Structure 1
Amino acid sequence: MLKVNQYFDGAVASIGFQTATLPATVGVMKIGEYEFGTSQFETMTVVSGEISALLPNQSEWQTFKAFDSFTIEANQKFKVKVAVESAYLCTYEDK
């Protein structure tokens, strides 16, 4: 079953689904800056566009382009900046 979520007054939207092996979301972000929190280990892959992220315990922003991925441990916060509307895929794992 698909689960649709919207965040930040509709600036970020995602659809949750079950892959063959892991729960996942696929979503889009409008231009802006956002802060997210994790409840599980996440792998975020940029599908289209570009996402800059300030990951936990880091002092410098990193930029991820289409097909680049990054991971975030459970129970962490991270910030993202989106300069062009972008799409992403997140998978979630218990670790």
Structure 2
Amino acid sequence: MSEFNNVTIVKQANVYFDGKVNSRTIRFADGSSKTLGFMQPGEYTFNTADPELMEILAGELQVLLPGNDAWQTVKGGEFFNVPGNAAFTMKVSVASDYCCSFLK
């Protein structure tokens, strides 16, 4: 899906890591939400509350998921899942555009 219809967008940005990662929250009529964001090159560790589906729309990064010892390369057009109540680290090698879906 290349666009979302009938949504509410929170105008204030979510800004992390001194502005190197930022996103906007999108809320759907069914109560679900996503963020659309952009990450500059760098290494970032995030903590989750709910499980997440991370779609990398463009760019390239490596991710170290909970319970794994090996880094996984993820490129534009690919995705990965993160469990809830967990931490994961991304090494962004190329500026990356993403969509994060919060799963409940």
Report the TM-score when normalising by structure 2. Answer: 0.85
Cα distance in 2 between the residues matched to 1:20 and 1:65 = 30
- Deviation digits for residues 35-82 of structure 1 (CA, Å, limit 9, x no counterpart): 000010100000110121000000000011111111011100000001
Aligned to 1:93: 103
5+ long unaligned stretches in structure 1: none
- Indicate the larger mover: 18-27 or 60-69: 18-27
Q: Which has the higher contact order (CA 8 A, sep 6+)?
A: 1
1:1-95 equivalence runs, <5 A? 1-2=9-10, 3-19=12-28, 22-94=32-104
**Tell me, what secondary structure is at the counterpart of 1:27?**
strand
Aligned residue-pair number: 94
- Higher alpha-carbon Rg: 2
Identity between Structure 1 and Structure 2 (%): 38
Find the residue that maps to 1:86 and give its secondary structure. Answer: strand
Q: CA RMSD in A?
A: 1.2
Superposed structure 1 runs of 4+ greater than 3 Å apart? none
Where do 5+ consecutive residues of structure 2 fail to align?
1-8
